[in-house]
Amino acid sequence: MIFEEKKIILKDGRSAIIRSPQKGEGQELLSLIKTASGETENLLRYPEEWNITLEQEEAWIESGRNSESVYNIVCFVEGKAAGNCEIRFLPGIKMGHRATLGISILKEYWNLGIGSAFFSEIIKLAEAHGTEIMELEFIEGNERAKHLYEKFGFKIVCEKPFAFKLKDGSYKSEFYMQKDLRK
Protein backbone atom coordinates (compact mmCIF):
# COMPACT_ATOMS: atom_id res chain seq x y z
CA MET A 1 0.00 0.00 0.00
CA ILE A 2 1.28 3.46 -0.75
CA PHE A 3 1.37 6.17 1.88
CA GLU A 4 1.30 9.48 0.05
CA GLU A 5 3.92 12.08 0.88
CA LYS A 6 3.17 14.30 3.85
CA LYS A 7 5.22 17.16 5.24
CA ILE A 8 5.80 17.37 9.00
CA ILE A 9 7.62 19.94 11.11
CA LEU A 10 10.09 18.56 13.64
CA LYS A 11 10.48 19.93 17.16
CA ASP A 12 13.70 21.68 16.08
CA GLY A 13 11.82 23.53 13.30
CA ARG A 14 13.14 21.51 10.36
CA SER A 15 10.78 20.16 7.75
CA ALA A 16 10.61 16.44 7.11
CA ILE A 17 8.72 14.24 4.70
CA ILE A 18 7.01 10.96 5.54
CA ARG A 19 6.03 8.65 2.68
CA SER A 20 6.31 5.14 1.32
CA PRO A 21 9.80 4.17 0.18
CA GLN A 22 10.40 4.24 -3.56
CA LYS A 23 12.32 2.15 -6.04
CA GLY A 24 16.02 2.96 -5.85
CA GLU A 25 16.04 3.70 -2.11
CA GLY A 26 17.06 0.21 -0.99
CA GLN A 27 20.64 1.13 -0.09
CA GLU A 28 19.47 4.08 1.99
CA LEU A 29 16.98 1.89 3.87
CA LEU A 30 19.53 -0.87 4.48
CA SER A 31 21.89 1.73 5.88
CA LEU A 32 19.11 3.10 8.09
CA ILE A 33 18.23 -0.23 9.70
CA LYS A 34 21.84 -1.38 10.09
CA THR A 35 22.82 1.92 11.70
CA ALA A 36 19.76 2.02 13.96
CA SER A 37 20.41 -1.59 15.03
CA GLY A 38 23.92 -0.62 16.12
CA GLU A 39 22.80 2.43 18.10
CA THR A 40 20.61 0.60 20.61
CA GLU A 41 20.01 -2.84 22.12
CA ASN A 42 16.27 -2.20 21.69
CA LEU A 43 15.80 -3.44 18.13
CA LEU A 44 15.33 -7.09 17.21
CA ARG A 45 18.67 -7.64 15.50
CA TYR A 46 22.28 -6.60 15.65
CA PRO A 47 23.65 -4.84 12.54
CA GLU A 48 25.58 -7.92 11.39
CA GLU A 49 22.36 -9.95 11.39
CA TRP A 50 20.97 -7.86 8.53
CA ASN A 51 22.13 -10.07 5.65
CA ILE A 52 19.64 -8.72 3.13
CA THR A 53 21.04 -7.92 -0.31
CA LEU A 54 20.27 -4.70 -2.12
CA GLU A 55 18.15 -6.68 -4.57
CA GLN A 56 16.15 -8.20 -1.71
CA GLU A 57 15.62 -4.77 -0.14
CA GLU A 58 14.45 -3.33 -3.45
CA ALA A 59 12.05 -6.29 -3.82
CA TRP A 60 10.79 -5.62 -0.26
CA ILE A 61 10.12 -1.97 -1.18
CA GLU A 62 8.19 -3.03 -4.28
CA SER A 63 6.21 -5.72 -2.45
CA GLY A 64 5.20 -3.19 0.22
CA ARG A 65 4.06 -0.71 -2.41
CA ASN A 66 1.97 -3.43 -4.09
CA SER A 67 0.68 -5.02 -0.88
CA GLU A 68 -2.94 -4.86 0.19
CA SER A 69 -2.02 -5.44 3.84
CA VAL A 70 1.14 -3.43 4.61
CA TYR A 71 2.11 0.22 4.78
CA ASN A 72 5.83 0.95 5.01
CA ILE A 73 6.56 4.58 5.84
CA VAL A 74 9.94 6.34 5.89
CA CYS A 75 10.79 9.75 7.31
CA PHE A 76 13.28 11.83 5.33
CA VAL A 77 15.00 14.81 6.97
CA GLU A 78 17.01 16.99 4.60
CA GLY A 79 16.95 14.14 2.09
CA LYS A 80 18.28 11.52 4.52
CA ALA A 81 16.24 8.55 5.79
CA ALA A 82 15.85 9.21 9.51
CA GLY A 83 13.42 6.47 10.52
CA ASN A 84 10.84 4.03 9.33
CA CYS A 85 7.71 2.31 10.53
CA GLU A 86 5.37 -0.38 9.32
CA ILE A 87 1.77 -1.35 9.95
CA ARG A 88 0.74 -4.82 8.84
CA PHE A 89 -2.93 -5.78 8.76
CA LEU A 90 -3.30 -9.45 9.66
CA PRO A 91 -5.25 -11.78 7.37
CA GLY A 92 -8.22 -14.05 7.85
CA ILE A 93 -11.42 -14.29 9.79
CA LYS A 94 -9.82 -14.99 13.15
CA MET A 95 -7.01 -12.41 12.99
CA GLY A 96 -8.25 -9.87 10.46
CA HIS A 97 -9.28 -7.46 13.22
CA ARG A 98 -5.62 -7.00 14.26
CA ALA A 99 -2.62 -5.03 12.98
CA THR A 100 1.03 -5.23 14.02
CA LEU A 101 3.45 -2.31 14.16
CA GLY A 102 7.19 -1.78 14.03
CA ILE A 103 9.32 1.36 14.22
CA SER A 104 12.96 2.44 14.20
CA ILE A 105 14.52 5.90 14.24
CA LEU A 106 18.18 6.87 14.00
CA LYS A 107 19.53 8.18 17.30
CA GLU A 108 20.38 11.64 15.92
CA TYR A 109 16.65 12.10 15.22
CA TRP A 110 15.32 10.93 18.59
CA ASN A 111 13.05 13.32 20.48
CA LEU A 112 12.17 15.39 17.40
CA GLY A 113 8.59 14.14 17.01
CA ILE A 114 9.13 11.57 14.25
CA GLY A 115 7.77 8.71 16.34
CA SER A 116 4.68 10.73 17.24
CA ALA A 117 4.14 11.64 13.58
CA PHE A 118 4.43 7.99 12.57
CA PHE A 119 1.98 6.87 15.25
CA SER A 120 -0.54 9.60 14.44
CA GLU A 121 -0.58 8.44 10.83
CA ILE A 122 -0.61 4.68 11.40
CA ILE A 123 -3.46 4.96 13.90
CA LYS A 124 -5.48 6.83 11.23
CA LEU A 125 -4.62 4.12 8.71
CA ALA A 126 -5.70 1.40 11.16
CA GLU A 127 -8.98 3.13 11.90
CA ALA A 128 -9.70 3.61 8.18
CA HIS A 129 -8.94 -0.05 7.60
CA GLY A 130 -11.39 -1.13 10.30
CA THR A 131 -8.70 -2.50 12.60
CA GLU A 132 -9.92 -3.20 16.12
CA ILE A 133 -6.67 -4.11 17.89
CA MET A 134 -3.22 -2.68 17.20
CA GLU A 135 -0.26 -4.51 18.69
CA LEU A 136 3.48 -4.13 19.11
CA GLU A 137 6.34 -5.30 21.28
CA PHE A 138 9.22 -3.57 23.00
CA ILE A 139 12.33 -4.77 24.79
CA GLU A 140 12.75 -4.36 28.55
CA GLY A 141 14.50 -1.10 29.40
CA ASN A 142 13.30 0.80 26.33
CA GLU A 143 11.52 3.47 28.36
CA ARG A 144 11.52 6.00 25.51
CA ALA A 145 9.52 3.65 23.29
CA LYS A 146 7.23 2.61 26.14
CA HIS A 147 6.45 6.28 26.83
CA LEU A 148 5.66 6.91 23.14
CA TYR A 149 3.39 3.88 22.94
CA GLU A 150 1.56 4.76 26.15
CA LYS A 151 1.12 8.34 24.90
CA PHE A 152 -0.87 6.87 21.99
CA GLY A 153 -3.01 4.62 24.19
CA PHE A 154 -1.12 1.32 24.07
CA LYS A 155 -1.19 -0.81 27.21
CA ILE A 156 1.04 -3.69 28.29
CA VAL A 157 -0.91 -6.94 28.22
CA CYS A 158 1.87 -9.47 28.84
CA GLU A 159 5.57 -10.02 29.40
CA LYS A 160 7.74 -12.69 27.80
CA PRO A 161 10.67 -13.23 30.20
CA PHE A 162 14.09 -14.07 28.71
CA ALA A 163 12.83 -13.28 25.20
CA PHE A 164 16.15 -11.74 24.13
CA LYS A 165 19.70 -12.82 24.87
CA LEU A 166 22.24 -10.06 24.32
CA LYS A 167 25.87 -10.44 23.24
CA ASP A 168 27.02 -9.97 26.84
CA GLY A 169 24.96 -13.00 27.87
CA SER A 170 22.28 -11.04 29.72
CA TYR A 171 18.59 -11.53 29.05
CA LYS A 172 15.78 -9.06 28.53
CA SER A 173 12.05 -9.48 28.59
CA GLU A 174 9.79 -8.55 25.72
CA PHE A 175 6.61 -6.65 26.51
CA TYR A 176 3.55 -7.02 24.31
CA MET A 177 1.25 -4.00 24.06
CA GLN A 178 -2.16 -3.44 22.50
CA LYS A 179 -4.29 -0.44 21.59
CA ASP A 180 -8.00 -1.15 21.52
CA LEU A 181 -9.76 0.79 18.75
CA ARG A 182 -13.18 -0.77 19.38
CA LYS A 183 -14.30 2.00 21.72
- As averages over each run of 10 residues, the pLDDT of the chain (183 residues) reads 96 97 93 91 88 90 93 96 97 96 96 97 96 97 95 97 95 97 88
What are the φ and ψ backbone dihedral angles of 141, each rounded to 5 degrees? Answer: 95, -10
Is 90 part of any domain?
Answer: yes
Full domain range(s) for residue 78 = 6-180
Domain-located, residue 69: yes
Element (H, E) at 125: helix 114-129
pLDDT for 115 equals 96
For position 183, what pLDDT does the model report?
75
Let me know if residue 40 belongs to a domain. Answer: yes
Q: Note whether residue 145 is domain-resident.
A: yes
Is residue 1 assigned to a domain?
Answer: no
Which residues in the chain belong to E strands, given as ranges? 6-9, 15-19, 70-77, 80-89, 98-105, 133-139, 155-165, 171-180
**Residue 141 to residue 176: CA distance in whole angstroms:** 13
Q: What is the pLDDT of residue 47?
A: 87
CATH code, domain carrying 13: 3.40.630.30
pLDDT value, residue 5: 96
Residue 7 has a pLDDT of 97
DSSP 83: E
**What pLDDT was estimated at residue 67?**
92
Domain total of the chain: 1
Q: Which helix (H) or strand (E) holds 32?
A: helix 26-39
**What pLDDT, on a 0 to 100 scale, did the predictor assign at position 41?**
87
- Decide if 153 is inside a domain: yes
pLDDT at residue 44, as a whole number: 87
